[in-house]
């Protein structure tokens, strides 16, 4: 993984593989998404009314839930606020126990994770993911990955999804937007697979806003 420099520059918004027309399109069968674990953060239990007695129990349950669904060779996109603690060894140990290749989108509480950059596949502020899906136009589903919810995003009118975190379930969901909070507080402290994300998106009441797009999607 390349070194992550903070604060970000606009260059980090660009995927070099995409620019060179060689961007890898991911297979949907081994993709997972999640956000806002806040490993090691005892106060998050109170702030978000999490159902744990203490931070040790919270950490263990979330690690167990992660590894129940994610295998060693799966790709995981974590949309920020991975941990919040000054205990560097704790964060290192947690990362060593978690399955999968973890791609980190930077949140607003990321100091703990950024102490262990080499344990992540990559670290970015924003990413546009392409997933092979035969049900989609041209066989590809595009997903915007960002820590914060957006009102609009690139190609949202063509059916591109957005996944976000940060809000811990406090932001009202928009039925007419192909976006939702992927954070653990919204999903029983489990990551979601691509198929699970797709099933949620299919419940949305979204339709292409322009006539020419309706005819082409």
Per-residue pLDDT tens over the stretch 6-15: 444 433 444 4
Strands (E), the chain: 26-27, 31-34, 75-78, 101-105, 122-124, 126-132, 140-146, 161-164, 179-181, 192-193
pLDDT-derived band at 211 (thresholds 50, 70, 90) equals low
Q: Is residue 124 part of a domain?
A: yes
Q: How far is it, in rounded angstroms, from Cα 89 to Cα 33? A: 25
Per-residue pLDDT tens over the stretch 126-155: 999 999 999 998 899 999 999 999 999 999
> With the C-alpha atoms ordered 202, 208, 211, 212, is the resulting torsion angle positive or negative?
negative
Query: What pLDDT was estimated at residue 137?
Result: 81
Please measure the distance between the N-terminal and C-terminal CA atoms of the chain and give it in whole angstroms: 36
Report the domain count for the chain. Answer: 1
* Domain containing residue 80: 22-216
Cβ-count burial of 9 within 10 angstroms (0-12 exposed, 13-18 middle, 19+ buried)?
A: exposed
CATH code for the domain in which residue 202 is found: 3.60.21.10
Query: What pLDDT was estimated at residue 216?
Result: 44
Q: Is residue 198 part of a domain?
A: yes
Query: What pLDDT was estimated at residue 212?
Result: 52
Average pLDDT, the chain: 88
Query: What pLDDT was estimated at residue 144?
Result: 97
Per-residue pLDDT tens over the stretch 44-100: 999 999 999 999 999 999 999 999 999 999 999 999 999 999 999 999 999 999 999
Query: What pLDDT was estimated at residue 105?
Result: 97
Q: Is residue 123 part of a domain?
A: yes
Q: How far is it, in rounded angstroms, from Cα 40 to Cα 91? A: 8
Partnered with residue 193 across adjacent β-strands are 32
pLDDT-derived band at 24 (thresholds 50, 70, 90) equals low
Identify whether the C-beta of residue 15 lies closer than 8 Å to the C-beta of residue 128.
Answer: yes
pTM summary value: 0.86
Tokens describing residue 134? 């035969």
Q: Is residue 79 part of a domain?
A: yes
């Amino acid at each position: 993984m390349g070194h992550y420099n903070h604060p970000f520059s606009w260059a980090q918004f660009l995927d070099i593989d995409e620019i060179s027309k060689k961007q890898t399109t991911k297979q949907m069968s081994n993709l997972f998404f999640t956000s806002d674990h806040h490993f090691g953060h005892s106060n998050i239990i109170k702030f978000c009314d999490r159902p744990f007695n203490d931070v040790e129990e919270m950490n263990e349950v979330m690690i167990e839930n992660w590894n129940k669904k994610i295998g060693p060779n799966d790709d995981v996109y974590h949309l920020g606020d991975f941990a919040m603690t000054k205990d560097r060894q704790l964060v290192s140990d947690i990362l060593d126990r978690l399955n999968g290749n973890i791609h980190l989108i930077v949140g607003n509480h990321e100091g703990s994770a950024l102490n262990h950059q080499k344990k992540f596949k990559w670290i970015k502020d924003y990413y546009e993911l392409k997933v092979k899906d035969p049900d989609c136009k041209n066989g590809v589903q595009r997903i915007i990955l960002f820590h914060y919810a957006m009102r609009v995003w690139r190609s949202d009118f063509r059916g591109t999804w957005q996944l976000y975190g940060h809000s811990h379930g406090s932001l009202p969901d928009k039925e007419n937007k192909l976006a939702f909070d992927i954070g653990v507080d919204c999903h029983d402290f489990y990551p979601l697979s691509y198929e699970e994300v797709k099933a949620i998106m299919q419940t949305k009441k979204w339709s292409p806003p322009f006539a020419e797009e309706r005819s082409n999607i």
